[in-house]
């Protein structure tokens, strides 16, 4: 504290000074004479130092500033759905947040004097908890730099911030250790403490002196700062990204906050852009659609319903499926040339591409493939459409289990693809380096879209929407946006399986889930699990996959046995895959369902999503451009 202009103000000393350099990346509109800019920041050292002019203390500090500036904008943390608590990550967040807020407020100041009207011009949409420090940094700038009192600054902050929650997985929600946070960002920590003190006073007002309530809901508790709670308390809007996800937030994960602030909660189901995920990546299908219904779908995806009357049209079905086959041939050639594996373009292209995570259950998929392989070996005349199982996934560098699952998929692929006795009836591929440019090759060639997360774990998913748009049928659980895809497409045009969120919540509560019972009663499951540890898949090291075996039956490393209910859903999934097999034999029936999928995907345009943010949260009026 120091007296500045007659009042006491907080001031900082002994800090590192970093220069934020803005780079405006153009985001080009589609035929609308508009180019928006996405502002990216680079970090530079502020003091270009002259070695001779520094004493020893200043010299080492200048070197540290240089190193900090170099690392701040250079490292992209790849961890997905997992929080790692790294010091550099916290510094990065503060750097990006502070640069953005300082610029936004100085811009506002150029044309306006009254900060109480800031929310008429500005909303900070906190995209996950990563920018949630915005709440405290905005308070700091308003108070310490513009001299606004706490109560006024808090009213402004709450009116300018809105929070989007992207996950229900508690291990992904950011929680910073107080020790780290207070050491790096003492003033921001001080402000969070005061926000927390006032919030706890409100809780005591409402619930009496209830330590349990405070421990559950406080922003600062048990040695940590809970960034999601800071974002909720400091925002006027809290949204989930699919209907079921928002309901889970309201009724389970954030129920206590919903009870206090029901007016803040709303849903914004995610979407994807049809410009990239159809017009650009699938030009043949785009042309067929435009020939049939005109090109308005490119900016108004609901127009695709115009295809529904054509779903039963034999000539249209033929054209639609010819294009699917062309895309499959093209992908087959790419696979042959990059991986040296030949695949049959007339087989079912069954694709699971997404980040590798246990909750997404790539393991369920590969265990089912192992079972299918066992069935073929037992019965060479098994009634089975040829199938090509394709995986693509990246894993965070330190996520060991994820890498072991990738190893398992590759090991199973080696066994199956090299077994001449099964006559190439099934093939398994793990494609390396999954990324948008690979997704653009895979998705137009998919017959079947694998969306098989444990119910309640996938907030929305967007891969599911891209596949549907390109005429793939979904095999999926009642999770994330799959629920809304079912609503749009109807139950005859999707393969739904598995336990529901309610069933799994009850099973968790009862503590009655016993994977060993499934093992004991289901010989197919028993065979597949045994193959994980008897050298069938890893002849060179029988124990390679024992960790996976243990995780399913006994629990491993402190986790419950089969946390993600893979064995629980095994039979139901296998049954749904049987229904896929039967459905694919009826070529006209499959074509009709594929067309209905494309025709029903209008809701999942990001144009619809953005309009909802614009109308409900940002309250913007459209600007008309000639
Ligand atoms: C769409 C997309 C995702 C998200 O996929 P989900 O199946 O929703 O998890 C991930 N990675 C890439 C490259 C994508 O294009």
Write out 242-299 in H/E/C secondary structure. CHHHHHHHHHHHCHHHHHHCHHHEEECCCCECHHHHHHHCCHHHHHHHHHHHCCHHHC
Strands of the sheet containing 224-226, edge to edge, are 175-177, 224-226, 220-221
- Ligand 1 centroid, distance to 486 Cα (angstroms): 19
Which atom, in ligand 1's list, is nearest to the CA of 436? 13
Q: Which residues pair with 162 in a beta bridge?
A: 125, 237
Ligand 1 atom 8 nearest Cα? 461
How far apart CA 413 and CA 358 sit, in angstroms, is 19
Ligand 1 neighbours (beta carbon < 6 A): 354-355, 434-436, 439, 461-463, 466
Under DSSP, is residue 583 helix (H, G, I), strand (E, B) or coil? helix
How far apart CA 251 and CA 232 sit, in angstroms, is 15
- Ligand 1 centroid, distance to 354 Cα (angstroms): 5
- Ligand 1 centroid, distance to 81 Cα (angstroms): 13
**Per-residue confidence (pLDDT) for residue 572, from 0 to 100:** 98
Ligand 1 atom 2 nearest Cα? 463
Best of 167, 245, 365, 463 for a ligand 1 pocket test (most atoms within 8 Å of beta carbon): 463
- Ligand 1 centroid, distance to 613 Cα (angstroms): 21
- Ligand 1 centroid, distance to 619 Cα (angstroms): 29
**Per-residue confidence (pLDDT) for residue 539, from 0 to 100:** 94
pTM of the prediction?
Answer: 0.96
**Phi and psi angles of residue 533, each rounded to the nearest 5 degrees, phi first:** -120, 5
Best of 167, 352, 353 for a ligand 1 pocket test (most atoms within 8 Å of beta carbon): 353
**Per-residue confidence (pLDDT) for residue 50, from 0 to 100:** 57
- Ligand 1 centroid, distance to 154 Cα (angstroms): 37
**Per-residue confidence (pLDDT) for residue 574, from 0 to 100:** 98
Which atom, in ligand 1's list, is nearest to the CA of 438? 13
How far apart CA 88 and CA 106 sit, in angstroms, is 27
Q: Which residues contact 317 (CB under 8 A, 6 or more apart)?
A: 311, 588, 591, 592, 595
Catalytic residues: 166, 354-355, 360, 462, 466
How many other CB atoms sit within 10 Å of the CB of residue 439? 20
For CATH 3.40.50.2000, the residue range(s) in the chain are 274-508+570-611
Low-confidence ranges of the chain (pLDDT < 70): 48-57
Ligand 1 atom 4 nearest Cα? 463
Best of 172, 352, 354 for a ligand 1 pocket test (most atoms within 8 Å of beta carbon): 354
Which atom, in ligand 1's list, is nearest to the CA of 272? 1
Under DSSP, is residue 3 helix (H, G, I), strand (E, B) or coil? strand
Ligand 1 atom 6 nearest Cα? 463
Terminal alpha carbon distance of the chain? 53
- Of 623, 299, 274, the C-alpha closest to 468 is 274
Strands of 382-464 (E only): list them. 387-392, 426-431, 448-451
- Ligand 1 centroid, distance to 578 Cα (angstroms): 26
Which atom, in ligand 1's list, is nearest to the CA of 394? 11
CATH 1.20.120.350 for the 274-508+570-611 domain, yes or no: no
Ligand 1 atom 1 nearest Cα? 463
How far apart CA 75 and CA 89 sit, in angstroms, is 9
39 and 100 Cβ atoms separated by less than 8 Å: yes
- Ligand 1 centroid, distance to 462 Cα (angstroms): 6
Q: What is the dihedral of CA 313, 317, 318, 319, to 10 degrees?
A: 110
Best of 451, 462, 465, 604 for a ligand 1 pocket test (most atoms within 8 Å of beta carbon): 462
- Of 385, 394, 378, 393, the C-alpha closest to 427 is 385
- Of 374, 276, 297, 288, the C-alpha closest to 325 is 288
Which atom, in ligand 1's list, is nearest to the CA of 434? 13
Q: Which residues contact 421 (CB under 8 A, 6 or more apart)?
A: 377, 380
């Amino acid at each position: 504290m120091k007296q500045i202009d007659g009042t006491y103000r907080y001031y900082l000393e002994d800090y590192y000074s970093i220069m934020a350099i803005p780079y405006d990346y153009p985001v080009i509109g589609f035929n609308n004479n508009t180019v928006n800019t996405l502002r990216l920041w680079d970090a530079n050292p502020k003091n270009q130092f002259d070695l001779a002019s520094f004493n020893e203390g200043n010299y080492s500090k200048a070197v540290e500033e240089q190193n900090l500036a170099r690392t701040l904008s250079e490292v992209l943390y790849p961890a997905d759905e997992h929080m790692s608590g790294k010091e550099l990550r916290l510094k990065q967040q503060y750097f990006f947040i502070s640069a953005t807020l300082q610029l936004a407020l100085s811009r506002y100041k150029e044309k306006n004097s009254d900060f109480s009207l800031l929310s008429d011009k500005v909303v900070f949409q906190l995209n996950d908890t990563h920018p949630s420090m915005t709440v405290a940094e905005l308070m700091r700038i308003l108070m310490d730099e513009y001299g606004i009192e706490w109560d006024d600054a808090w009213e402004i902050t709450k009116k300018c911030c809105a929070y989007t929650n992207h996950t229900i997985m508690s291990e992904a929600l950011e929680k910073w250790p107080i020790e780290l946070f207070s050491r790096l960002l003492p003033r921001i920590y001080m402000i969070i403490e005061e926000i927390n003190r006032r919030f706890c006073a409100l809780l005591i007002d409402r619930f009496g002196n209830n330590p349990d309530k405070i421990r559950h809901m406080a922003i600062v508790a048990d040695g940590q700062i809970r960034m999601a709670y800071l974002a909720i308390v400091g925002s006027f809007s809290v949204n989930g990204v699919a209907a079921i996800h928002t309901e889970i937030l309201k009724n389970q994960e954030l129920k206590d906050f919903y009870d206090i602030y029901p007016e803040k909660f709303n849903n914004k189901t995610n979407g994807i852009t049809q410009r990239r995920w159809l017009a650009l990546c699938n030009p043949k299908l785009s042309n067929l659609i435009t020939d049939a219904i005109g090109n308005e779908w490119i900016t108004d995806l609901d127009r695709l319903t115009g295809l529904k009357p054509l779903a039963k049209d034999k000539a249209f079905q033929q054209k639609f499926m010819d294009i699917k086959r062309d895309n499959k041939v093209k992908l087959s050639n790419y696979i042959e040339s990059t991986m040296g594996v030949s695949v049959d373009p007339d087989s079912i292209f069954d694709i699971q591409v997404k980040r590798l995570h246990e909750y997404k259950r790539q393991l369920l998929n590969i265990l089912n493939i192992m079972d299918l392989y066992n069935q073929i070996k037992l019965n060479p005349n098994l009634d089975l459409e040829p199938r090509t199982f394709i995986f693509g996934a990246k894993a965070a560098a330190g996520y060991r289990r994820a890498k072991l699952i990738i190893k398992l998929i590759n090991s199973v692929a080696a066994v199956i693809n090299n077994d001449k006795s099964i006559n190439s009836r099934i093939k398994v591929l793990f494609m390396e380096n999954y990324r948008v440019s690979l997704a653009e090759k895979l998705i137009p060639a998919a017959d079947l879209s694998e969306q098989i997360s444990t119910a309640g774990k996938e907030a929305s998913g967007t891969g599911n929407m891209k596949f549907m748009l390109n005429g793939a049928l979904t095999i999926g659980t009642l999770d994330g946006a799959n629920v809304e895809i079912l609503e749009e497409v109807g139950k005859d045009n999707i393969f739904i399986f598995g336990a529901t969120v309610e069933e799994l919540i009850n099973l968790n509560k009862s503590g009655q889930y016993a994977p060993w019972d499934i093992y004991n009663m289901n010989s197919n499951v028993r065979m597949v699990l045994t193959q994980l540890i008897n050298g069938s898949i890893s002849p060179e090291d029988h124990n390679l996959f024992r960790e996976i075996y243990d995780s399913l039956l006994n629990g491993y490393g402190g986790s419950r046995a089969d946390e993600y209910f893979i064995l629980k859903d095994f039979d139901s999934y296998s049954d749904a895959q049987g229904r896929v097999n039967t459905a694919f034999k009826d070529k006209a029936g499959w074509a009709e369902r594929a067309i209905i999928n494309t025709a029903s995907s209008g809701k999942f345009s990001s144009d619809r999503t953005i309009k909802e943010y614009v109308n409900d949260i940002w309250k913007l009026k459209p600007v008309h451009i000639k």
